[in-house]
Structure 1
Amino acid sequence: MSGRIPKQFIDDLLVRVDIVDLIDSHVPLKKNGSNYVARCPFHNEKTPSFSVSRNRQMYHCFGCGVSGNAISFVMEYSHLGFVEAVEDLAAFVGVEVPREDGHDSGGADKQSVSRIYSVLEQVAAFYAEQLFGVEGEKALDYLRARGVSGEVARDFGLGFAPRGWDGLLGRFDRQALTDAGMLVVRDDGKVYDRFRGRLMFPIRDKRKRVVGFGGRVLDDGLPKYLNSPETPVFSKSKELYGLNELLQKNSRPGRILVVEGYMDVIALAQYGIGNAVAALGTATSKAQVDLLFRFAAELVFCFDGDNAGRQAAWKATESALPALKDGRQIKIMLLPQGHDPDSLVRAEGVSGFQARINDATVLSDYFFEAVAGQLDLSTIEGRSQLMAAAKPQLEKIPSGFFRDMMWRRLGEMTASRLVDVPENTATLRPRNMGIVNGSNQKRPSLVRRVLALLIQHPNLRHVAVRQDLSLDGLQYAGQEVLEDVLHKIALEKPENGAILLEAYRGSSYEKTVTALAGMELNVPEGGEEAEFSGALTQLRRRARQEKLSELLAKEGRDGLTIEEKQALRTLLKESL
């Protein structure tokens, strides 16, 4: 649905949602003083270190360091994008998400999308029912021959599309079916079912909604596999078959196996290998790779060893390069000729198949083997061809250590000094990092405390205004961040820290502000104002003393400008 979500709605939503009720609906919380605690849902731990504050409407884990507000929790816990998380949060409190689209079609668009989701869910249930009907016997025989159990068929919602041309038309709304891509519309206006006489695989998104279908013929008909077309709720390059089912079993798998087809996913699940997903009849896209990296740090691309499989592996590698940030890993696993995952696991057993996964070729090795090919690297011509083939691909990799090492390896293989390793911005020290970790700063702990108090309790800004505790003209560690936070609060007037945190989403200060939002202050409830006032006064006093010392030193060394002399007189007067 088009149109941006109004910022005011997001702020109001964060006020309406009680983060304790939200998180408790996913992770049982226990009262602990003024906060609520649980074992962190984002890392394994034996004792609770995950704390939720009703007053601040934020959570923080003292074990893994994650912090955030209600939107952040839904995004992380349910693996959703920002818009999806806002929509889920709105549904949680029973409100609709408005859009800034400049016209009145938003409501109609939403109703149309809702009808599509509804009819697809109904069609999936219909197909599942038909699988056990008279016409579905052939599909059942096929599944039995492939060793698929009733439990796996149920988990994946497998079904059967009747052979008739109007199996759906007489049961469901025609317009909804058309919008959902379940009907083919001829030029003369006549329509018929898109899927007929096929074993059906419902495709669910990560929010468990049916968004499309894949269908397999049970005879020699063509095409062997048929997918739903692009619709308002379905894009083949953005979805992955089996991902929803995988996440139902394990929300944070350490590794995800990417295979070629629906039945590969089903067959592996039958053998207890439940971490496989499949692209939907197209080359693996960057969007799919990015999606998978939200759930696992390691992906293994498993393709047939024939020419088509090798081409698919190379296309997947090209798509993956722009997504390879530090901490992510991809392996390439090409199967022996004549085998697919099902036949290989039957031949070698689960342990043998898992061993192949463990021993799969890391992407860096696969990449250079593929681009070097049959080139003779002992010649200038061969090395120059390697340079020409590899350089455009390596330029796609994001800045980081992995990118650096790939460039260095290219330089080693080509024996060339012409390969300049691009500057690794990931290794450069970010500005104001001392505010978070306190390293190499003069007095970072005091600035951090002032900032943390202000971020967690934005209403404290009035203390600085009321007491005229100005820091103008003074210099201190973290000055830019503090000035920005004070300006943001004055501009946004956030009701609580959760809303202020949202105002920094996507900004250069987001990580710093989020870290300080989760900082433990150990201030008694109700004592925040006195603590902030004292800390800010102390910060001002130290900054003024440092400025005074700096001016006195410069006066004796180089002399002062007129402006500096005026500043010195003011500081000396105030210090009396």
Structure 2
Amino acid sequence: MTLTPAFLDELRARTTLSSLVACTVKLQRAGREFRACCPFHNEKSPSFYVNDDKGFYHCFGCGAHGDAIRWMTDHQGLPFMDAVKELAGVAGLDVPAADKRSAERAERAKGLHEVMADAAAWFTEQLHGQGGGEARGLLERRGINAATAATFGLGFAPDSRGKLRAALKDYGDPLLIEAGLLIQVEDKEPYDRFRGRLMIPIRDPRGRVIAFGGRIIGDGEPKYLNSPETPLFDKGRNLYNLDLAQPAARKANRVIAVEGYMDVIALAQAGFGEAVAPLGTAMTESQLERLWRMTDVPLLCFDGDSAGQKAAIRAATRAMPMLAPGRSLAFVTLPQGQDPDDLVRAAGPAAFEALVAKAQPLVDRLWSHEVAAEPLTTPEQRAGLKRRLSDLASSIADPGVRDEYHADFRNRFDDMFARKPAPRRVFQPQRSGGRFDKGRGGWKLPDPPATEGTRDVSTGGIDPVLARAVLAGLIRHPAQIARHIEILGSLKLANATLARLFEAVIDVALEDQALDSGHVLTILARSGFDQVASDLLRADSLPFTFTQGHADEAQAMADLNEAIAVMVARPRVDAALMEATLAVQTGFTDEAYTRQIALVHERARLEARLANLMLPDEDDETLG
């Protein structure tokens, strides 16, 4: 069917996007827009916005973006033409008639769905018929009950080259071949692809059968045989059990990716309905994106053997370029040689839940894998580790997450090899004529707490001077506002003027994401912030690359992301340090004192990270 841009534009114009989204998502008015917790990933604070004027929705958390048609395809799971027809019916528009070629394609797709549904029904009949005893015995040995078999539509393909072909002969051989149910070699008679196998239907998000996986009943190879790729089935873009796992994942607030069909089925029977599996391939980028639509941190639970752990690392490295703030992976480690099916049958659901509760964050899995990759006894081997970690971090596209990984790997490396850091400047800003005052004592690292004086810690939340620098950087580089909007929106500043200015900057970004610095200043001036914003942009007041007018753009962006990360982390560390200090003062123990020292060093690392961002004064001496 040929749809002109003019027709699609008219359809979008006649559709009120907020009304469409509000049918399934609770929206709240936010100025000229609406906001909600994102329906494409789980979150606690709203980062999903709907703009009727511009006709699009956007999530600043997971990046989901689109118009009314995209909403119907991505959220409602409709094919493109079905989405158009449904929206057109509500809008009172007639969909243009199909041309001959488009009509043929639509009819062929309809035929493929029908033949796959009939094939699934026939396989189920065979499972419960006289010839299905061996397959039923396999299910019994695997502990799969009748209710679970029915839920997943399990069936049986007899060990015959022509029984399915004969049962579905009304469709004709060409359609059965296109559906992947028959194999034809050159000019010989087509024959059934699946023979002597337990049949496992693979369904799309709408629950329609699009392919099959066949498990051998007795001995033979391959153990699993999957449908070939067809017009309905792209194995790299689908996940097994996605149709049933999506609602279960929303309820459980998690999704678990395992290796195989039987793992998914066994976990579902044990109460873990949120399990999915790739379809005979390593986890792809498209499959990872599907997982992230369901939850921010999918759990990957691959087999406990070496092959399973290699698959986990391949998935981890493939995910690296796609990481974003709040979006990561975690890994469930199974006992050596076991898969989820083995575990839940042998030890029960509680044993699996206990492992899930101890899921390993992505950064920990990467670190432990690289450390174990080779001996680290020579300088060359340690340099190799450092290079591998740096390459992993550098593969991340998001600059904020990339900087965090570089810093995390660097700290782990230094801690592991007990390196004493060279003396660095520590960021200790004080107000002095609108400039940073390094103090008469110069830069120094704090000593570990040893006296009551050093144990007396006070905290004041977000540092107002650092907050001013970050604001200046965001005004100079407004494209970064949207990247950090969730973090910026959650900041708690004691300074009311700075807090209002942060809110104004965020509102500007929501209004228009394609801004330059001059436009931002113009909009802020309308809100009465012209003088404050102009003061922030004085090049001599805030010595960072991102506050300067002529700094290298890439360096300024990286430094700004690092400054935001430190600004957000510092109050948390300060609060923890205050708590640890009070614990030491009220009841000294080795454990409390060790934690206090660790937090002092963590705070020192944050200060050092920030100090390294500062531009040196011309009269600064070289720091050794």
Both proteins in one fold, TM over 0.5: yes
For 1:221, the equivalent position in structure 2 comes to: 220
1:111/1:406 CA distance change after superposition, 3 Å: same
CA contact (8 A) 1:202 1:210 kept: yes
- One of 57, 70, 75 as aligned partner of 1:77: 75
In structure 2, what is the Cα distance between the partners aligned to 1:398 and 1:38? Answer: 26
Give per-residue Cα distances to partners, 1:107-154, cap 9 Å, x unaligned: 333332332222212212222222222222222222222222222222
Per-residue Cα deviation, 1:488-539 (whole angstroms, up to 9, x for no partner)? xxxxxxxxxxxxxxxxxxxxxxxxxxxxxxxxxxxxxxxxxxxxxxxxxxxx
Matched, 1:477 2:476: no
Cα distance in 2 for partners of 1:197, 1:322 equals 42
User: How much has 1:398 moved relative to structure 2?
Assistant: 2.1
Show the counterpart of 1:8.
6
* 2-structure distance, mates of 1:53, 1:313: 39
Q: Deviations over 1:219-242 (max 9, x none)?
A: 112111000111122121111111
The percent identity for this pair of structures is 36
The C-alpha deviation readout for 1:433-473, integer Å capped at 9, x for no partner, is 99998979999989979x98x9xxxxxxxxxxxxxxxxxx9
Shift of 1:199: 1.1
Match of 2:585 in 1: none
* One-letter amino acid of the counterpart of residue 221, structure 1: G
Structure 1 unmatched ranges of 5 or more: 30-35, 418-424, 455-472, 480-576
Q: Which residue of 1 aligns with 2:478?
A: 431
In 2: Cα distance, 1:286 partner to 1:55 partner: 33
- Give the distance between the partners of 1:163 and 1:57, measured in 2 at CA: 55
Over aligned residues, Cα RMSD in angstroms? 4.9
CA contact (8 A) 1:183 1:193 kept: yes
Number of equivalences:
439
Aligned match of 1:386: 385
| Structure 1 match to 2:595 | none
The counterpart of 2:150, out of the listed 148, 151, 154, is: 154
Alignment check: 8 A CA contact 2:210 2:232 kept? yes
The 8 Å contact of residues 130 and 162 in structure 1, kept in 2 or not, is answered as yes
Do 2:163 and 2:192's aligned partners in 1 also have CA atoms closer than 8 Å? yes
Q: How many angstroms apart in 1 are the aligned matches of 2:109 and 2:172?
A: 14
Q: CA deviation at 1:274?
A: 0.9
Deviation at 1:372, TM superposition (A): 2.2
Render the CA deviation track for 1:365-403: whole Å, top value 9, x for unaligned: 111211222534453211221134333333321224432
Q: Distance in 2 between matches of 1:280 and 1:269?
A: 17
Partners of 2:298 and 2:330 within 8 A in 1: yes
- Could you tell me whether the CA contact under 8 Å between 1:155 and 1:245 is conserved in 2? no
Contact 2:298 2:328 (8 Å CA) reproduced: yes
Please state whether the residue corresponding to 2:75 is helix, strand or coil.
helix
Alignment-derived partner of residue 300 in structure 1: 299
Q: Which residue of 2 aligns with 1:539?
A: none
Query: For residues 13-28 of structure 1, what are the structure 2 equivalents within 5 Å?
Result: 13-15=11-13
Residues of 2 paired with 1:407 and 1:443: CA distance?
Answer: 28
Establish whether residue 350 from structure 1 lines up as the match of residue 396 from structure 2. no
The question of whether the paired residues in 1 share the 8 Å contact of 2:178 and 2:230 is answered with yes
Distance in 1 (CA, whole Å) between partners of 2:248 and 2:340 is 20
Partner residue in 2 for 1:332: 331
Whole-angstrom distance in 1 between the partners of 2:344 and 2:17: 46
SS at 1:220 equivalent: coil
1:109 equivalent in alignment to 2:121: no
Q: Give the whole-Å Cα distance in 2 for the aligned partners of 1:308 and 1:443.
A: 49
TM-score normalized by the length of structure 1: 0.63
| Superposition deviation, residue 192 in structure 1 | 0.6
The answer to which of 71-80 and 212-221 deviates more is 71-80
Tell me by how many angstroms 1:286 deviates.
Answer: 1.5
5+ residue gaps, structure 2: 28-33, 422-469, 490-496, 513-518, 526-624
Contact 1:161 1:198 in 2 (8 A): yes
2: CA distance, partners of 1:145 / 1:317: 34
Question: Match of 1:546?
Answer: none
Q: For residues 247 and 85 of structure 1, do their structure 2 counterparts lie closer, same or farther at Cα, with a shift above 3 Å needed?
A: farther
Per the alignment, residue 90 of structure 1 pairs with 85
TM value normalised by structure 2: 0.59
Give the distance between the partners of 2:130 and 2:390, measured in 1 at CA. Answer: 58
Q: Which moved more, 1:117-126 or 1:103-112?
A: 103-112
Taking a change above 3 Å as real, the CA distance of residues 447 and 343 of structure 1, as seen in their structure-2 partners, is closer
Q: Distance in 1 between matches of 2:339 and 2:72?
A: 37
- Name the CA distance, whole Å, in 2 between partners of 1:307 and 1:448: 50
CA contact (8 A) 2:40 2:294 kept: no
Query: How many angstroms apart in 2 are the aligned matches of 1:220 and 1:87?
Result: 45
SS at match of 1:201: strand
Paired position in structure 2 for 1:403: 402
- Structure with larger RCO (C-alpha < 8 A, sep 6+): 1
**SS of aligned partner of 2:396:** coil
1:504 maps to what in 2? none
Counterparts of 1:54 and 1:475, CA distance in 2: 26
Number of the residue aligned with 2:311: 312
What is the deviation of 1:6?
A: 4.0
Preserved CA contact (<8 Å) 1:260 1:303: yes
What is the CA-CA distance between 1:212 and the residue it aligns to?
A: 0.9
SS at match of 1:215: strand
Q: Cα deviation per residue 1:184-242 (whole Å; 9 max; x = unaligned)?
A: 11123321111112111111122322221101111112111000111122121111111
